[in-house]
């Protein structure tokens, strides 16, 4: 940030940094709520989150801020469009223009509601009791519709919510991409699932928690995750959270009878964290100091979780180390058998445990259900039935419990319904697209991964994606990195190449 010589621009950035500090304090409270807070603290924590959220919103939407934005905007017009200050202003102005449409009372109410709903979900899920949280979810749906209506007119009620996560995209855009993806993906799924499934029984024996966590942390440290600027804790649903430059935390969950749950969660969230740790530190306190969209962010988590950590070169290097940690579980299991197991393709109930090939079908189900809820063609009371029917028709499996069905994901119980899930599928597409660009620049990357070396890939991602934070919009970033827009073909090529070696395609 180099052009901050104008008093109005300096004052605007000073106030934006104060607001950012408040939102980071809110994030610390949220992180504590999901990792360490005793159950008795829920009511006061919900109030605290509501207070801070409303205060930050009130400061951002004040008349003084509006005046500062207008004055600073005139200065920004004189700056080079590609300058950091101009980009930071554009990103902050988008946030401001959104925020002024949402009443402060709504922000306070909805934040408190989300904290209460999240806490209820953490109890409803293990109890397999959707009714425990369904009334709260009805309120969430009402809040979500009201949120969208603040931005009317729109082509589809989900458009404003999608735009908040993936700026510039609408429901129609997502549907178009998903239609093309489904057309090419379903034949691959059918071809693979018509063949005998891989044996993954060796993954479903006892793996002590401490050793699982230690191995995962060793791997992500090798990736480049800096534990001097982050940490990993356990939670119900894994996530990454930015508490400030130099404090990027991740969470995971552990199943002592399924090795890959914790490992995939750790590598996935580390991918998000590598993105955040790689952002230019000069952006601290500005609107540029975060990933540019849900889709781009997800591309990084899926790159490290799947393209890297499910690859044959990766396990050629790390499998002997894993066998040394778990000799009784894996000592007699050949590498090829283990590699097939971690890349087993089979329709399943749980999104976060889904294989690379079927994963996007899970996302399409959720996206369609979100749109139906927002449109009013589906009621909350009918959501479990609709969920189960879609799983039966799309994946050929039917949940036997709501815990493994409509209660499995935190997202609808922790924020708005709508604009939540499309980023996961877009991230899968972009992960393959970005990785192709990385390989074109550095064909040696797979061989380096096979030696446990990730510097070339990590450096390329940092130089081409991470450092920019939100400086470029998603379309701008994709154009800079790949020369085009979102494409389905790279992911299909990746899947056909990789799984063509494991199955007959």
Could you give the 3-state DSSP secondary structure of residue 233?
strand
- Give the span between the Cα atoms of 193 and 11, in whole angstroms: 60
How high is the pLDDT of residue 416? 98
Displacement of CA 213 from its chain's centroid (Å): 21
Backbone phi, psi, residue 24, to 5°: -70, -35
State the pTM of this model: 0.95
The contacts of residue 237 (CB under 8 Å, 6+ apart) are: 253, 409, 410
Backbone phi, psi, residue 15, to 5°: -70, -40
- Give the span between the Cα atoms of 257 and 205, in whole angstroms: 5
Same domain (yes/no): 71, 182: no
Same domain (yes/no): 209, 105: no
Same domain (yes/no): 133, 203: no
Q: Is the pLDDT of residue 6 over 90?
A: no
pLDDT tens digits along 368-380: 999 999 999 999 9
End-to-end CA distance of the chain: 51
Q: Is the pLDDT of residue 100 over 70?
A: yes
How high is the pLDDT of residue 1? 62
Flag whether 163 is in a domain. no
Better-scored residue on pLDDT, 1 or 305? 305
Flag whether 2 is in a domain. no
Flag whether 162 is in a domain. no
* pLDDT, averaged across the chain: 97
**Boundary-marking domain end, from 153, 188, 206:** 153
Q: Is the pLDDT of residue 485 over 60?
A: yes
Same domain (yes/no): 137, 183: no
Residue 352, domain CATH = 1.10.1370.30
Tokens at residue 343, please? 């890349």
How high is the pLDDT of residue 278? 99
Q: At what angle do helices 312-325 and 209-223 cross, to 10 degrees?
A: 140
pLDDT tens digits along 249-307: 999 999 999 999 999 999 999 999 999 999 999 999 999 999 999 999 999 999 999 99
- Give the span between the Cα atoms of 446 and 438, in whole angstroms: 11
Does the annotation mark 269 as catalytic?
Answer: yes
Domain that holds residue 396: 171-500
How high is the pLDDT of residue 456? 99
DSSP-assigned states of every residue in 384-401: HHHHHHHHHHHTS---SS
Same domain (yes/no): 367, 438: yes
Distances (CA, A) of 388 to 141, 277, 345, 382, 416: 20, 39, 20, 10, 22
Nearest to 283 by CA among 470, 142, 101, 426: 470
The secondary structure element, H or E, covering residue 416 is none
How high is the pLDDT of residue 4? 55
Tokens at residue 392, please? 């039966």
Flag whether 266 is in a domain. yes
How high is the pLDDT of residue 5? 66
Q: Is the pLDDT of residue 92 over 60?
A: yes
Burial group, residue 11, by CB count within 10 angstroms (0-12, 13-18, 19+): middle
Same domain (yes/no): 187, 119: no
Same domain (yes/no): 347, 490: yes
Helical spans, DSSP H, in 150-229: 159-165, 171-193, 209-223
Backbone phi, psi, residue 348, to 5°: -140, 170
Q: Which residues of 224-237 are buried (b: 16+ CB within 10 A; e: fewer)?
A: bbeeeebebebbeb
Same domain (yes/no): 177, 103: no
Flag whether 181 is in a domain. yes
Same domain (yes/no): 98, 188: no
pLDDT tens digits along 402-441: 999 999 999 999 999 999 999 999 999 999 999 999 999 9
Same domain (yes/no): 225, 360: yes
Report, as an integer, the average pLDDT of 311-317: 99
Q: Is the pLDDT of residue 2 over 70?
A: no
Report, as an integer, the average pLDDT of 484-498: 97
**Which residue of the set 26, 217, 269, 305 is catalytic?**
269
Provide the domain count of the chain.
2
pLDDT tens digits along 34-63: 999 999 999 999 999 999 999 999 999 999
pLDDT-derived band of residue 505, with 50, 70 and 90 as boundaries? confident
Flag whether 399 is in a domain. yes
**Boundary-marking domain end, from 120, 153, 186:** 153
Flag whether 1 is in a domain. no
pLDDT > 70: what percent of the chain?
Answer: 99
Flag whether 79 is in a domain. yes
pLDDT tens digits along 331-370: 999 999 999 999 999 999 999 999 999 999 999 999 999 9
pLDDT > 90: what percent of the chain?
Answer: 98
Same domain (yes/no): 243, 97: no
pLDDT tens digits along 216-261: 999 999 999 999 999 999 999 999 999 999 999 999 999 999 999 9
Distances (CA, A) of 475 to 393, 472, 487, 489, 494: 34, 8, 12, 17, 22
How high is the pLDDT of residue 251? 99
**Boundary-marking domain end, from 85, 118, 153:** 153
Burial group, residue 187, by CB count within 10 angstroms (0-12, 13-18, 19+): exposed
Cα Rg of the chain (Å, integer): 23
pLDDT-derived band of residue 192, with 50, 70 and 90 as boundaries? very high
Nearest to 375 by CA among 77, 117, 113, 161: 161
Could you give the 3-state DSSP secondary structure of residue 292?
coil
Report, as an integer, the average pLDDT of 200-214: 99
Distances (CA, A) of 437 to 184, 433, 443, 466: 22, 7, 10, 15
Same domain (yes/no): 69, 200: no
216-219, Cβ contacts within 8 angstroms, sequence gap of 24 or more: 216/252, 216/262, 216/263, 216/266, 216/267, 217/266, 218/321, 219/263, 219/266, 219/267, 219/309, 219/318
């Amino acid at each position: 940030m180099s052009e901050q010589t104008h008093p109005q621009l300096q004052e605007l950035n000073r106030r934006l940094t104060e607001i950012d500090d408040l939102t980071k304090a809110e994030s610390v409270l949220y992180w504590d709520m999901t990792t360490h807070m005793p159950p008795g603290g829920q009511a006061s924590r919900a109030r605290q989150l509501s207070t801070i959220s409303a205060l930050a919103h009130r400061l951002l939407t004040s008349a003084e801020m509006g005046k500062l934005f207008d004055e600073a905007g005139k200065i920004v017009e004189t700056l080079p469009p590609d300058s950091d200050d101009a980009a930071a202003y554009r990103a902050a102005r988008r946030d401001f223009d959104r925020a002024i449409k949402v009443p402060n009372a709504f922000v306070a109410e909805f934040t408190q509601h989300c904290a209460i709903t999240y806490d209820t979900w953490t109890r409803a899920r293990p109890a397999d009791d959707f009714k425990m949280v369904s009334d709260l979810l009805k309120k969430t749906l009402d809040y979500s519709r009201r949120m969208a209506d603040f931005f009317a007119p729109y082509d589809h009620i989900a458009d404003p919510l999608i735009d908040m996560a993936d700026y510039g995209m609408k429901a129609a855009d997502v549907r178009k991409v998903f239609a093309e993806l489904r057309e090419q993906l379903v034949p691959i799924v059918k071809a693979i699932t018509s063949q005998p499934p891989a044996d993954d029984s060796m993954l479903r024996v006892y793996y002590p928690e401490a050793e699982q966590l230690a191995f995962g942390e060793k791997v992500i440290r090798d990736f480049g995750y800096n534990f001097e600027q982050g940490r990993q804790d356990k939670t119900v649903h894994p996530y990454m959270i930015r508490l400030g430059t130099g404090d990027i935390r991740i969470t995971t969950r552990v199943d002592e009878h399924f090795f890959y749950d914790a490992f995939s969660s750790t590598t996935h969230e580390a991918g998000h964290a590598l993105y955040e740790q790689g952002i230019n530190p000069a952006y601290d306190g500005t609107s540029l100091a975060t990933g540019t969209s849900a889709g781009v962010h997800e591309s990084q988590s899926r790159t490290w979780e799947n393209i890297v950590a499910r690859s044959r070169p990766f396990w050629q290097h790390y499998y002997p180390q894993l066998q040394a940690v778990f000799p009784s579980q894996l000592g007699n299991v050949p590498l090829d058998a283990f590699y097939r197991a971690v890349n087993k393709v089979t329709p399943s109930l749980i999104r976060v445990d889904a294989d690379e090939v079927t994963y996007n079908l899970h996302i399409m189900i959720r996206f369609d259900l979100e749109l139906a809820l927002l449109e009013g063609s589906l009621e909350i009371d009918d959501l479990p039935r609709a969920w189960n029917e879609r799983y039966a028709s799309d994946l050929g499996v039917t949940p036997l419990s709501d815990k493994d069905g409509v209660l499995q994901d935190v997202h609808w119980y922790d924020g708005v319904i709508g604009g939540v899930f499309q980023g996961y599928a877009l991230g899968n597409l972009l992960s393959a697209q970005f990785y192709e660009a990385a390989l074109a620049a550095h064909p040696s990357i797979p061989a380096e991964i096979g030696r446990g070396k990730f510097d070339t890939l990590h450096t390329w991602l940092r130089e081409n994606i991470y450092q920019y934070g939100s400086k470029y919009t998603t379309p701008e970033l994709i154009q800079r990195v790949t020369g085009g827009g979102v494409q389905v073909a790279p992911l299909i090529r990746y899947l056909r190449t990789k799984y063509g070696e494991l199955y007959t395609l």
